[in-house]
Amino acid sequence: MRNMQVLLAARPSGRVEERHFRIVESDIPRAGDGEFVVRAHYLSLDPYMRGRMDDSRSYAAKAAVGDVMVGTAVGEVIESRHDKYQVGDFVETRTGWQLYGTSNGDGVRKIDPGYVPLSAYLGTVGMPGVTAWIGLNEHGRPKAGETVVVSAAGGAVGGVVGQLAKLQGCRAVGIAGGRAKCDYVANELGFDACVDYKAGNLDADLAAACPKGIDVYFDNVGGPVLDAVLLHMNAFSRIALCGQISGYNDPDALTVRNFRCFLINRIQLRGFICSDHLDLWKTALKELAALVHEGKLKYRESIASGLENAPKAFIGLLNGQNFGKQLVKLI
């Protein structure tokens, strides 16, 4: 048996291509004192990884060319010299894009695949779910009866936002690309409505879906979608700015023309990073896990098979080809 790893081969300028990655093999690592080895079962692919590939300033350290791509995986401990982790334990760990990785326990979470499915700990009961919970509750602060709109509603974060809003008595409206995604958001996730931004009638469709205006907007995409939403925001409304995926490959796409709406309607805009709220993770994860366990929080996964297909799946994620949480099955 050998370890397979995906390395950052070159920094992209514009769109990410498969040539920006390199696949190598190496020996399976051994545990040193105070360490354990994890055999990854699933790898999480997330939009934030695109920022780590750049050389520009960001909220997190950039990936170094030649290093294993950063990322989170869930898997099983197969060797341990750590007193808190035993062989057979299932964990979530930041071992990156590889089949086997070592850890000293920092940032590791023990998980129970008997309570919710193992893969869910990378999605709804993981960082994406926590991001949705924090952005909505801490920065959106919805009240029952208000209208909550979320972009990329068919994704891992957006789908959770709308369902949590519904559980709090709000009207939940999603924005997604294509009829299939909108049907999924409305019919399977239970949103009150979903607007297809690809249909070419975003302004009119938002007006129809939000007859009382928008009180909370959870933004995952930025760009033209944000610009259209601003025209429908109510006075003293709130925007939780989570992502800007429309500009990850083309920064010029992030231009906002309706900026005056912030002044006219006294809109509060708050950018946030979920790691700024580590004190809330335990509470959020407990609530999210219970909702999934009870069947009150639904989700969908797009699963690529084999680490060698991770680059292609990641490129698809950036282009909006995924349905729900994007994962790579490794075992």
Residues contacting 218, CB < 8 A, separation 6+: 132, 135, 136, 140, 148, 149, 150, 151, 158, 161, 239, 240, 242
Can you give the residue ranges of every domain in the chain?
A: 3-123+300-329, 127-275
Provide the pLDDT confidence category of residue 37 given band limits of 50, 70 and 90.
Answer: very high
Q: Rounded to an integer, what distance in angstroms lies between the CA atom of residue 29 and that of residue 21?
A: 21
3-state secondary structure of 26: strand
Mean pLDDT, rounded, for 58-73 = 90
Report pTM.
Answer: 0.93
Share of residues in the chain with pLDDT > 90 (%): 88
**116-161 pLDDT, tens digit each:** 999 999 999 999 999 999 999 999 999 999 999 999 999 999 999 9
Is the confidence at residue 253, as pLDDT, over 70? no
* 203 touches 231 (CB < 8 A): yes
Looking at the DSSP bridge assignments, the partners of residue 233 are 214
Assign domain 3-123+300-329 to its CATH superfamily.
Medium-chain alcohol dehydrogenases, catalytic domain (3.90.180.10)
Is the confidence at residue 249, as pLDDT, over 70? no
Give the residue from 134, 174, 173, 168 showing the smallest Cα distance to 155: 174
Is the confidence at residue 29, as pLDDT, over 80? yes
Which region among 2-6, 268-272, 273-277, 280-284 has the lowest average model confidence (pLDDT)?
Answer: 273-277
Length reported for the chain: 331
Q: Is there a shared CATH topology between the 3-123+300-329 domain and the 127-275 domain? A: no
DSSP 187: I
Is the confidence at residue 62, as pLDDT, over 90? no
The pair phi, psi for residue 252, each rounded to 5°, is -65, -20
**191-218 pLDDT, tens digit each:** 999 999 999 999 999 999 999 999 999 9
Residues contacting 187, CB < 8 A, separation 6+: none
Mean pLDDT, rounded, for 111-118 = 97
* 45 touches 310 (CB < 8 A): yes
**217-233 pLDDT, tens digit each:** 999 999 999 999 999 99
pLDDT confidence of residue 320? 85
pLDDT confidence of residue 60? 73
pLDDT confidence of residue 125? 98
Topology of the domain comprising 127-275? Rossmann fold (3.40.50)
Is the confidence at residue 286, as pLDDT, over 90? yes
